[in-house]
Amino acid sequence: MPQVGKITELWRYPGSSVTGEQLDHAEVSADGLVGDRRYALVEVSTGIVAHPERDRQWQKCVFVRSRMRENGEVEVMVPDHDWRAVHDPQLALALSRFFGFDVELRPYERTQPEMSGVAFAKDRYDVSPLHLLTTASIGHLKSIHPTGDPNPRRFRPNIVVETAKEITGFAELAWIDQPVRLGDVEGMVIAPTKRCGFTIIEQDDLPNDPEILRNIMRFGGRNMGVYCAPAGNGVVRVGDLVSIDRA
């Protein structure tokens, strides 16, 4: 397979819609990155999963952080609080105070075996494949919208691939239905990533910027980045070469 670049960033988001953790290596399975998007923030009174891209009450999600320990336990940190395990009752209290209404972190139905008495979050995602984004796309969006900051954190990829200079535009959109190799992990590019309002909301040092999404819609048909389905288990690492079979 011809090489198209190398992995420069790896991200895992144990909690959906909240900030995740940057890694130097990660396990993958046929379902995607191991430990990715296992839990969701839920409004207790309605059972509705957080949608920060559409509901203003959830737009502070990105200031909450999540990580997975080596033993598989997920921890969450609310601003001005310490890291707490997902089952710690103090976490729900901290989340509720932060958002201003009753909030819990619940496991997605697809991520846990059936257990009596456990409240689940309604699945928002299919079994997650790997979300890949290239520096070509990031650079292309910057050229279209030079006053904006298309930092990869806006797009929440699992994998950022630094592409060669001659690869331009929303390059990965041309790879759909093509075999991909990520280091030693083989798979297939299966679909474009449709972008939503999450890309524009304020987070840390990134300002609210509606032009980010407007330009992706105008020049990418709302698509930027792709989903890749691994063929099996393996490990991906920062520095791994990425190849696409364009035959």
The residue extents of the domains of the chain are: 3-33+127-244, 39-111
- CA–CA separation, 54 and 129 (whole Å): 23
pLDDT one-digit tens code per residue, 215-245: 999 999 999 999 999 999 999 999 999 999 8
Alpha helices in the chain (DSSP H): 89-99, 135-144, 210-220
**Amino acid letter, residue 87:** H
Q: Which residue has the higher pLDDT, 151 or 121?
A: 151
Q: Which CATH number fits domain 3-33+127-244: 1.10.10.10, 3.30.9.40, 3.60.21.10, 2.40.33.20?
A: 2.40.33.20
pLDDT in tens, 15-31: 999 999 999 999 999 98
Alpha carbon 67 to its chain centroid, in Å, reads: 13
Question: Distance between alpha carbon 241 and the CA centroid of its chain, in Å?
Answer: 21
Percent of the chain with pLDDT over 90: 80
pLDDT of amino acid 188: 96
pLDDT at 114 over 60: no
Q: Quote the CA–CA distance of 64 and 22 in Å, as a whole number.
A: 15
Q: Measured at the alpha carbon of residue 101, what is the angle toward residues 100 and 104, in degrees to the nearest 5?
A: 120
Structure tokens at 246: 């364009």
